[in-house]
Structure 1
Amino acid sequence: MAQVTVEQLAETVGAPVERLLAQMKDAGLPHSAAEQAVSDEDKQTLLAFLKASHGESTAAPKRITLKRKTISTLRGAGGSQGKKTVNVEVRKKRTYVKRDVLEEDAAETPSAALDDLVEEPVVEEVVEPEVVAPEPEPAPEPEPEPEPEDEKDLDPEVLRQRAAARRKKQEAEEAAAREAAIAARKAEEERKAAEAAAAPRSAPSADVARKPKRLHDAPAAPGREEPRKKKSRGRVGAEPLGRGKHRGHNLSLSDLEAAESGAPRRRGGRRKGKSTHEEHGKHGFEMPTAKKVYEVELADMISVGGLAQQMSVKSGAVIKELMKLGVMATINQMIDQDTATLVVEELGHKVKLVSADELEDNLSEALAMHEGEQTPRAPVVTVMGHVDHGKTSLLDYIRKAKVASGEAGGITQHIGAYHVDTDHGMISFLDTPGHAAFTAMRARGAKSTDIVILVVAADDGVMPQTIEAVQHSKAAEVPLIVAVNKMDKEGADPDRVKNELAAQEVIPEEWGGEHQFIPVSALTGDGVDALLDAILLQAELLELKAPREVPAQGIVIESRLDKGRGPVTTLLVQSGTLRQGDICLAGLHYGRVRAMLDENGKPIDEAGPSIPVEILGLDGTPDAGDQFAVLENEKRARELADSRQEKMRDSKLQRQQAAKLDNMFESMTAGEKKTLNVVVKADVRGSLEALQTALLDLGNDEVQVNIVSGGVGGIAETDINLAMTSEAVVFGFNVRADASARRLVEAEGVDLRYYNVIYDLIDDVKQALSGMLPPEMREEIVGIAEVRDVFRSPKFGQIAGCMVTEGTVYRSKPIRVLRDNVVIYQGELESLRRFKDDANEVRNGVECGIGVKNYTDVKVGDQIEVFEVREIARSL
C-alpha cells in the first residue's frame, strides 16, 4: 500500500488529526505534524499498540453483532374518528461471523444467523381529529448500536472488504426472511379461509364477533383509559386491533414494505380482493421514454399563441425560439409560415403546410359543379354620372316613381336597385351616387353590371365624376351608353358633350366610334324609349344567359340594420334561383333566408337571375360588394364564415401592429400628430364605407382623423360610452340616437351631430381639423431707422440718433440691428424719444433718439429694423 500523510490517514479512519498524532506519539512513532508521511510499517506499529492498549490480542475478532431500528409513518382515512396515523417500527439485529468460524460451527448451529435476523415490526395506531391533528407520540430513542472497538483500529482496506461482504450477506438474509414471511402469511390466509368456509352461514365467525364496530368500542388495553389513543405492539401475525372502517385487518409484510419504499396505500388500508405481494408491481406507471412529436398545421400566417397550443408547449418557449432567430414577438402577434416552420423544427415537431384558402377553394369547386341549362336573362344596367346631372330623375320617369324628391339634398346617398318590366322587356337598374365620396360605390356598380349608362347634363358638360365613371366602365370592360340629359333646357349643347367625351376616348357612333349617344329629357320623357331600345340592343349583342335551376349566386348591393327586423341585405342574383329557406353565405355572415322582399317591399318566394331582392335572416350586415352563395347546409356556411372572420381578424391585427410601429417612428422623427377621434353610424353599409374613406383622406402630416368605431344602425348607449372613453365626436348619418343614448349625451356633454348630406359632414370635419392645425407664424417689417450719430446719456447710456427711413418705428415691437445688411443683434427698444419727449411711435422721415436694450455697440451707419410676428390661421 502506498504511503499516506497523517491527515489522509485520519480522514480514512474517521478520527481527528490531533488524536491520531497523540496515539502515534504514545506508540513511539516520530510523527508530530499532519503533513508527515506514514509508511505501512508505521501503520502496523500503530495498530499493534492500539490493540495492546485495549487488552486484545493481535488476532482479529470472530463475531460482531449490530442492532438497527427504523420508524416510518403511514397516513390514511380513519372514518368518523378523523385521520389515522400508523407508526411502523422495524427492529433488525444482525450478527456477522468470520467465514472460517462459520464453517466450523455450521454443523452445530445451522440456523443461528437466521434467528438473529428476524424483523420485529411494531405498529402504533394514532387517531388524529379532523380539524386539529395532534402530534403523534414520540418514538422511543433507538438503542445505541455497539461499535466494536477492534474495527476502528483496522486497516482501511480491510474495513472496505468487510463492508462489502456484509452488504452481500445482508441482501441474501433479507430475501430469505421476506420469502419466509410471505409463506407464513399465505398459510395464515388459507387457514382463515378454510375456517370461514367450514363455519355455518348464520353464525358469525369468532374473528367477526371479536371485531369492534367502532374504534371507541374497542376494549382498552391494560393500563390505558382512553381507547382511541390505544397502542399495540407485537410481531407480524399477532392479532392486532382493527384500523379504518374494517377492524381486525392484520398488518401484512407488504404494508411494511410499502411504508419503507414510500409506495401509496389504498384509502383506509383496504385492498381489493386477495392480491399477493407479486401483484403490487403488475400495473405500474412507466414514464414515457421518448418525446411526443406533434404534427403542426401551418397556414400563411399564425399567431404565437396558436402555434404554442398546437405543440402543447408554453408560449414563452415559442417566444424564446423567436428571440433566438432575432424576431421580437408577443403572444398575439402573427408570424409568417417560414418563421413558424423554423420554430417548429427547432422544438422537434413536424410541419404540415396547409393552404389558408383551402375552404375557399373547396367552395369554388363546389359552386363550379352547379351547371345547369343556360337560359336568357335580363340585362343589369348601372346609371352613373356626375352629381345633379339627372340620373335618378331619369330612372324615376322609367319607373314612374318619385325617388329623387325623397333623397336628402336632392342627391342619391346609396345604391338603389330596381327591376322594371317595360314594353321592350325586363331591365334591372342600379342607381349609383354621383358625389365624389362615393367612388367605391361607383366602382362596385361598374363591376356588377352588364351595361353602363353615362348620364351627362347637356348644359353642364363633362365633370370630374363623369370622367371617373368612364374610367370605371373601361376598367370593368363594360359597354357604355351615353345619355345626354336635360335637352329641354335652353343652354343644352350636345355637341359640347360629344367633343369633351371624345377627349376621354368615348367616340360617338356617328363619328365612327362604338358608343351610342342618346339625347333624353328626364323632365319631359323625350328620348327615353330610344334609350331603352339602345339598352336592349346592346343586351342582344352580349347574349346574356345564366342557369336558373341551380343554387343562387350573386353580389351584395347594400345592407342595413333595421330596428324591428334586424339585418336587411339587398342582393342582386346573378345566376340560379334564390328561394325562401335557403342557407345563404354573404361575405363574413351567413344565415337562413327567413323572408324575401322586392324593391317595393312586397314579399316574394323566389328570385331568379338579374333580380334585386331584399332578404332577412343573416347574422350581420355584410359589406357592399361581397359575393353571396347558397350552400347545402348550415354547418358548412358557419365554418366558412368563421374562417373568413378569423382571417380578417388576423389581417387587422397585423395591420394594427404595423401601424403602431410606423406611428412610433413617425412620432420619434416628426413629433406627435393631433388626432380627431370620431364614431360614425350610418343607415346603410355603402354610405358608411364612403364616409370612412372620405374622413380618412382629410388628414395631413400634422392632423388626422381616427375612426374609433363605425357601424350600421341607430346610435345606442354603447356608442356614446365609447365616445366618452375615447373623447370622440359622434356622427349620425341618416340615423338618430335612442332615448337612453340621448339622456347620456345630455348628462355627459358628448358632441353628437346629425347629417343627411355627406358633403356637409365632410366640410364640418375639415373645419375642425383646420382649427387643430397650429397657426403659421409670419414676420412683417413695419419700420427701418438709420443711425446718423451716437452719443451718451447719463440716464440711458448709449443713444443712437436716427432717421426713420421706412414705415413706422414702434417702441413696443421687437427690433434687429443690421450692419452691412447682416443681423448682428436681435432684441427690443429701451427708449424712443422725439426731442426730450418719450414717443410710442415715430413715422417715416422724422428724426428720433433710440436706446437699444442691453446693447452698447451701435455705430453710425447701422440700421435698426422694427418688425412684428403675425399668426396666420391655416386650413386643409
Structure 2
Amino acid sequence: MSQQTTIRKLAELVNTPVEKLLEQLAEAGMSFSGPDQVVTSMEKVKLLGFLKRSHGKTEAAADEVIAPGKITLNRSRKQEITVGGSGKAGRGAASTIDVVVRKKVTLSKPGSTPAPTAAEEQDAERAEILRKLEESRQRNLTEQQRLAEGDRKRAEELAERKRAEEEEAERARIEATAAAEAAVIEEAGKPKAGHHGHAHHPKPAAPRGDDKAAAAHKGKVQRGSHAMVAGVEDDDNAQRFAGQLHLSASERARRTTSVRGKARPQKRGQDQSRTGTGFNKPTAPIVREIAIGDAITVSDLAQKLALKGGDVVKALFKMGVMATITQTIDHDTAVLVTEELGHKAVHADAGDAESELLAHVEQVQGDQQQRPPVVTIMGHVDHGKTSLLDYIRRTKVASGEAGGITQHIGAYHVDTPKGTISFLDTPGHAAFTHMRQRGAKLTDIVILVVAADDGVMPQTVEAIQHAKSAKVPLIVAINKIDKSDADPLRVKNELLSHDVVAEDFGGDTQMVELSARTGQGVDDLLDAISLQAEVLDLKAVFEGRASGVVIESALDKGRGPVATVLVQQGTLNKGDYLVCGIQYGRVRALFDETGSQVAQAGPSIPVQVLGLSGVPEAGDDFVVVADERLAKDVAQQRDAKRRELRLVASAGNRMEDIMAQMGEGAAQQTLNLVVKADVHGSMQALREALTGLSNEQIRINVIGSGVGGITESDAQLAATSKATVIGFNVRADASARKVIENNGVDLRYFSIIYDVIDQVKQVASNVLGKEIREEIIGTAEVRDVFRSSKFGAVAGCMVIEGVVKRSKPIRVLRDNTVIFEGELESLRRFKENVDEVRVNTECGIGVKAYNDVKPGDQIECFERIEVQRTL
C-alpha cells in the first residue's frame, strides 16, 4: 500500500479483532505495544508465513504463494477524439467522443510464460479506437440521413402547397374570365327593340374537363365560349390557358413553368460559371474608367482600380518610380500606371465647389463704364520712383522707407486734376523681380523711371522686359533733369538698344523729362497718362459682385490677417463674403491708403481688407460670393489640392535621381535658414533670392518662412535644425528670445535686403571678409507722448533694456514690427540734455522727422559694428 498501515487498519482489512491480531503477531515473534503501531510489509509477509505453517502448509508452498511466477495488472487509458461534421449549425456538428482503452498486462519471471509484446498491445489499442470511430461515424451518418430526409419532405410539402395555391388562383382567374365573356355574349344576344320575332338562343354551359378532353379527341377544343380547331397554336400547354387569347406562346410557357413548380436546384459543382458567392465569373478582363485629378495617393488609386496597394506599388517600381502606399503621385504618373495595369484613365473635373464658383462669376454682368487707370512705377534703385509718387501725392512716404528704398508694393489712388489714378510703387531691387511681375500683370500703364544722370541700369532692363511680356504700354519718365550732369539724350539713345523708341525719334513711346524734387514736368506726365488711358478705353462693370487681385498681405498683431487688394470688376462692400486663394472670410472693414475706413471700393481702387481666415499669398485672385458656405467649400478644396501638389514633389523619387544624389556624395554643405518678414511679398522675394544663391559647394535651404514677428515655434525650429534666423523688419518676442539665448541660435535682424543677400552670399561663396552687424544696445518703452512747439512730439520713455545713446540710430517698433527708422533729435533727463540713459531710467526722446509715436511703442537704439567673419 502506498500509505502506512497500522495494526488497527490491518485488523479491519482482514476482518479480525485487534486483540486476536496482536496475539498472532506475538506468536509469530513480533511484539507490538499498541494497535496504532505501523506494520511493515516484511512483517506482514512474516505473519502470513506463520499463519500458513500453523495451518499445516509447507514452506515451499508458502514461498510459492509469497512469490508467484507472474503478476497480472489491469490498465485503462482515456482519450478524447473530435469527429467533425459538415460544419453547419444544427446539422452534422462536430462531436467529441471519449475512448477508454482497457488492457491487461501480465508480468512473469524469467522462464515462465512470455508476456505479450508491445506490437500486440498497440494492435489491440488501435482496434479498440477504430471500433469506437466506426460506431461514431455510423451514428453521424444516421443522423445526417434523418435530417436530410426531413428537409426533403418539408421541401416537397412546401412545393406541393405552393403548387396547389397557384392552381387554385389560376382556376379562379379562368372562371372569372369565362364569366365575363359569357356576360358579354349574353348582352350581345338579347333582342333589340323592334326585333321581337327572333328566337333567343341560350348560352352553352362551360364544358367541364371531361368534355374538353372529348372535344380535343374529336379535333376541336372548346375554350370558354369559343370553339377552336386543335393544333392551331404550337403550345402544348394551351389547354391550361383556355380563354386567354391575349397571351403569347412565350408568356404561356413562362406561366406554365411557374405553375408546374420551380426547377430543381442544381447541385454545387454542376455549373462551373458560378462562384461560391452567387456571382458569375467575368468572361473577359474588366476595363475600368478611372478619374484621376492633378494628384492622387497610391492607396486611393489602388482602391479605384480594385487592386491591392502592393500591386500598384510593384507596378510603379517596375516603371522606375519608388513610392510607398501613402505617398502622392502626380497625374501623369498615375495615368501611366493605370494604363500599364490595363485600365483607362480620364482627367477628373474640378469639384462641385469650383464649378459652382465659376457659374457664380459668370452671372456677374452689367453695363461697363470708364474706370481709372492703374499705373505701375518701375525702375532701378534710387532713380526717384517713390519721390515722384510722393510729389504727386504731396506726402513724404520715402522718408519712412529703410535707407530710402521701397521694400514692398505700395498701392495708392490719387485724385489729380486729370482725374483719379491708381498708382502701384514696386521695389527696384533685383530680389523683387516676382513682385514687379505681379505689378506688371495687374496694371494698365507702366511708368519707367530712369535717372538722367545714371542712365539705363540692369533693373531698368528687367522692367522693360516685364512690361513687354505683359503687353502693357510704356511711358518713360526721365527724372533728375535738374542736376548738372543730367543728359536726357543719352538715356533715349540707350533705350534704343532695348527697342524702346521715343516719339522724338519716330517711335511710339512717350518720354517725359521731369524732376521729382522741383516738380518740373510732372503735369506733362499726368497728361501723358490721361492720353494713354483714353487710347486704351479702360472700362469695367461697377455693379455686381467684386473680383480682383491681392497686391500684398501681412499679419497684424491687433487686426489679424490684412490683405491689400485691387478691385478689377464690381464693387467690394463691407460685409461681403469672399474667397481669396485658399483663404475665405467676411469683409469686416475696408481701409484706404491713408488708414481711413471706407464703405466700398470700385474698380481700379486699392483697399486693405480685414476679416480673412488667414494670410493669402500675393498674386491670388479674390471673388465675392453669395454665402459663406460656398466660400468655405472652395477654400478647403483649393487647400487640399495645393497640399497634394506640394506632396508630389517629395513623393515618387525616381531611381536615377537617387543614383545621381549618391554619386554627388556628401561634399555639398547645407545652410539652413528661417526667414520671417513683415509682409508676404518681401518674404517670398527673400526666399527666392536666398535659394538662388546655392551652388555646388553649398545649398541654401529655407526650412521655414512666414509673415509676422518671430515666435517661439520659429525659434524651436531653428534650434532643432541648427538654422540661422533672419528677421526682416520684424522682431522676436520674449519667449522666442529666451529659446534663442538658451540654445545659442544665430539671430540676425535686417531692414535692407542688400545686407541679407550680401551676408548670405559671403558665406555661400566662402569668401572671408568683414561684415557689418547691427547690435541692439538699448530699448526704451514709450509711456506717454507730449507735444512741444520746438521738437514736436516728445516721447516720455522708460529704458527697459541696455542703454539709449543720443549719437546712435534708432528704430520705432509697434507690435514687434518696424514702422520707422531714423535718429534721435533730442535725449533729455528732466530738463538737461544727456548723451545716454541707462536701464530703469526715465527720459524724454524726440525722434527726428517723425511725430506719430504712440504710447506702447518701443524705441530701439542700435549701432553698426564690423566683425571679422569666421566660417
TM over 0.5: yes
Note the alpha carbon deviations across 1:684-707, whole angstroms, 9 max, x for none.
111111111111111211112011
Residue of 496, 508, 514 corresponding to 2:490: 496
1:573 CA displacement? 0.4
Q: Could you tell me which residue of structure 2 aligns to residue 449 of structure 1?
A: 443
1:718 CA displacement? 0.4
Q: Could you tell me which residue of structure 2 aligns to residue 277 of structure 1?
A: none
Note the alpha carbon deviations across 1:234-264, whole angstroms, 9 max, x for none.
xxxxxxxxxxxxxxxxxxxxxxxxxxxxxxx
2:602 is the alignment partner of 1:608 = yes
Q: Could you tell me which residue of structure 2 aligns to residue 430 of structure 1?
A: 424
Report 1:9-88 matches (<5 A): none
In the alignment, the residues of structure 1 paired with residue 700 and residue 344 of structure 2 have an alpha-carbon distance, to the nearest angstrom, of 46
Larger mean Cα displacement after TM superposition, 696-705 or 422-431:
696-705
In the alignment, the residues of structure 1 paired with residue 565 and residue 92 of structure 2 have an alpha-carbon distance, to the nearest angstrom, of 88
1:874 CA displacement? 13
The answer on whether the counterparts of 1:558 and 1:570 sit within 8 Å (CA) in structure 2 is: yes
In the alignment, the residues of structure 1 paired with residue 547 and residue 296 of structure 2 have an alpha-carbon distance, to the nearest angstrom, of 31
In the alignment, the residues of structure 1 paired with residue 483 and residue 767 of structure 2 have an alpha-carbon distance, to the nearest angstrom, of 45
1:598 CA displacement? 0.8
* Residues 708 and 326 of structure 1, relative CA distance in 2, 3 Å threshold: closer
The answer on whether the counterparts of 2:316 and 2:322 sit within 8 Å (CA) in structure 1 is: yes
Q: Could you tell me which residue of structure 1 aligns to residue 48 of structure 2?
A: none
The answer on whether the counterparts of 1:71 and 1:89 sit within 8 Å (CA) in structure 2 is: no
Larger mean Cα displacement after TM superposition, 387-396 or 615-624:
615-624
In the alignment, the residues of structure 1 paired with residue 391 and residue 692 of structure 2 have an alpha-carbon distance, to the nearest angstrom, of 36
In the alignment, the residues of structure 1 paired with residue 652 and residue 508 of structure 2 have an alpha-carbon distance, to the nearest angstrom, of 48
Q: Could you tell me which residue of structure 1 aligns to residue 466 of structure 2?
A: 472
1:414 CA displacement? 0.4
2:284 is the alignment partner of 1:289 = no
Note the alpha carbon deviations across 1:414-435, whole angstroms, 9 max, x for none.
0000001111110000000111
In the alignment, the residues of structure 1 paired with residue 153 and residue 650 of structure 2 have an alpha-carbon distance, to the nearest angstrom, of 77
1:330 CA displacement? 1.2
Report 1:378-389 matches (<5 A): 378-389=372-383
* Residues 734 and 89 of structure 1, relative CA distance in 2, 3 Å threshold: closer
2:554 is the alignment partner of 1:560 = yes
The answer on whether the counterparts of 2:413 and 2:423 sit within 8 Å (CA) in structure 1 is: yes
Residue of 739, 743, 758 corresponding to 2:738: 743
2:709 is the alignment partner of 1:719 = no
In the alignment, the residues of structure 1 paired with residue 436 and residue 330 of structure 2 have an alpha-carbon distance, to the nearest angstrom, of 35
Note the alpha carbon deviations across 1:696-726, whole angstroms, 9 max, x for none.
1112111120110111111000001111111
1:290 CA displacement? 5.9
In the alignment, the residues of structure 2 paired with residue 528 and residue 500 of structure 1 have an alpha-carbon distance, to the nearest angstrom, of 23
The answer on whether the counterparts of 1:770 and 1:874 sit within 8 Å (CA) in structure 2 is: no
- TM-score normalised to structure 2 length: 0.56
In the alignment, the residues of structure 2 paired with residue 510 and residue 349 of structure 1 have an alpha-carbon distance, to the nearest angstrom, of 66
2:524 is the alignment partner of 1:530 = yes
1:745 CA displacement? 0.8
Q: Secondary structure of the residue that 1:521 maps to in structure 2? A: coil
Residue of 281, 291, 296 corresponding to 1:302: 296
* Residues 141 and 557 of structure 1, relative CA distance in 2, 3 Å threshold: same
Q: Could you tell me which residue of structure 2 aligns to residue 30 of structure 1?
A: none
Q: Secondary structure of the residue that 1:621 maps to in structure 2? A: coil
Q: Could you tell me which residue of structure 1 aligns to residue 637 of structure 2?
A: 643
1:503 CA displacement? 2.2
In the alignment, the residues of structure 1 paired with residue 570 and residue 603 of structure 2 have an alpha-carbon distance, to the nearest angstrom, of 6
Q: Could you tell me which residue of structure 2 aligns to residue 691 of structure 1?
A: 686
The answer on whether the counterparts of 2:327 and 2:652 sit within 8 Å (CA) in structure 1 is: no
- TM-score normalised to structure 1 length: 0.55
1:180 CA displacement? 12
Larger mean Cα displacement after TM superposition, 630-639 or 579-588:
630-639
Q: Secondary structure of the residue that 2:694 maps to in structure 1? A: coil
Consecutive unaligned residues of structure 2, counting only runs of 5 or more, are 1-79, 85-89, 104-125, 128-135, 155-275, 769-867
The answer on whether the counterparts of 2:446 and 2:467 sit within 8 Å (CA) in structure 1 is: yes
1:480 CA displacement? 1.0
The answer on whether the counterparts of 2:322 and 2:653 sit within 8 Å (CA) in structure 1 is: no
* Residues 373 and 429 of structure 1, relative CA distance in 2, 3 Å threshold: same
1:648 CA displacement? 2.3
1:454 CA displacement? 0.9
Q: Could you tell me which residue of structure 2 aligns to residue 541 of structure 1?
A: 535
In the alignment, the residues of structure 1 paired with residue 281 and residue 544 of structure 2 have an alpha-carbon distance, to the nearest angstrom, of 52
The answer on whether the counterparts of 1:703 and 1:772 sit within 8 Å (CA) in structure 2 is: no
Q: Which amino acid aligns with 1:763?
A: D
1:502 CA displacement? 2.0
Q: Percentage identity across aligned positions?
A: 55
2:326 is the alignment partner of 1:332 = yes
Q: Which amino acid aligns with 1:723?
A: A
Q: Could you tell me which residue of structure 1 aligns to residue 238 of structure 2?
A: none
The answer on whether the counterparts of 1:71 and 1:90 sit within 8 Å (CA) in structure 2 is: no
Q: Secondary structure of the residue that 2:540 maps to in structure 1? A: strand
* Residues 317 and 326 of structure 1, relative CA distance in 2, 3 Å threshold: same
Q: Which amino acid aligns with 1:587?
A: G
Q: Secondary structure of the residue that 2:766 maps to in structure 1? A: helix
The answer on whether the counterparts of 1:546 and 1:576 sit within 8 Å (CA) in structure 2 is: yes
**Cα RMSD between the aligned structures?**
4.1
Note the alpha carbon deviations across 1:535-554, whole angstroms, 9 max, x for none.
11111111110001121111
In the alignment, the residues of structure 1 paired with residue 148 and residue 502 of structure 2 have an alpha-carbon distance, to the nearest angstrom, of 114
In the alignment, the residues of structure 1 paired with residue 150 and residue 281 of structure 2 have an alpha-carbon distance, to the nearest angstrom, of 42
Q: Secondary structure of the residue that 2:597 maps to in structure 1? A: coil
1:381 CA displacement? 0.4
* Residues 637 and 756 of structure 1, relative CA distance in 2, 3 Å threshold: same
Residue of 604, 619, 623 corresponding to 1:625: 619
Consecutive unaligned residues of structure 1, counting only runs of 5 or more, are 1-68, 74-87, 92-121, 123-135, 145-151, 154-162, 182-285, 774-872
2:551 is the alignment partner of 1:580 = no
1:504 CA displacement? 1.7
Q: Which amino acid aligns with 1:703?
A: I
Larger mean Cα displacement after TM superposition, 389-398 or 356-365:
356-365
In the alignment, the residues of structure 2 paired with residue 326 and residue 490 of structure 1 have an alpha-carbon distance, to the nearest angstrom, of 67
Q: Could you tell me which residue of structure 1 aligns to residue 782 of structure 2?
A: none
Q: Could you tell me which residue of structure 2 aligns to residue 860 of structure 1?
A: none
Q: Secondary structure of the residue that 2:494 maps to in structure 1? A: helix
2:764 is the alignment partner of 1:764 = no
Larger mean Cα displacement after TM superposition, 565-574 or 293-302:
293-302
In the alignment, the residues of structure 2 paired with residue 524 and residue 475 of structure 1 have an alpha-carbon distance, to the nearest angstrom, of 34
Residue of 393, 402, 410 corresponding to 1:408: 402
In the alignment, the residues of structure 2 paired with residue 328 and residue 597 of structure 1 have an alpha-carbon distance, to the nearest angstrom, of 51
1:479 CA displacement? 1.1
Q: Which amino acid aligns with 2:758?
A: D
2:737 is the alignment partner of 1:754 = no
Q: Could you tell me which residue of structure 2 aligns to residue 598 of structure 1?
A: 592
Q: Secondary structure of the residue that 1:698 maps to in structure 2? A: coil
Note the alpha carbon deviations across 1:836-858, whole angstroms, 9 max, x for none.
xxxxxxxxxxxxxxxxxxxxxxx
In the alignment, the residues of structure 2 paired with residue 761 and residue 559 of structure 1 have an alpha-carbon distance, to the nearest angstrom, of 21
The answer on whether the counterparts of 2:710 and 2:733 sit within 8 Å (CA) in structure 1 is: yes
Q: Which amino acid aligns with 2:516?
A: A
* Residues 142 and 420 of structure 1, relative CA distance in 2, 3 Å threshold: farther
Aligned length: 533
Note the alpha carbon deviations across 1:150-172, whole angstroms, 9 max, x for none.
xx99xxxxxxxxx9999998765
Q: Which amino acid aligns with 2:582?
A: L
Larger mean Cα displacement after TM superposition, 564-573 or 361-370:
361-370
Note the alpha carbon deviations across 1:461-515, whole angstroms, 9 max, x for none.
1111111111111111111111111122111111111111122221121221111
Note the alpha carbon deviations across 1:664-702, whole angstroms, 9 max, x for none.
444433332111100000111111111111111112111
Q: Which amino acid aligns with 2:585?
A: G
Q: Secondary structure of the residue that 1:538 maps to in structure 2? A: helix
* Residues 318 and 476 of structure 1, relative CA distance in 2, 3 Å threshold: same
Q: Could you tell me which residue of structure 2 aligns to residue 42 of structure 1?
A: none
1:661 CA displacement? 6.6
* Residues 530 and 666 of structure 1, relative CA distance in 2, 3 Å threshold: same
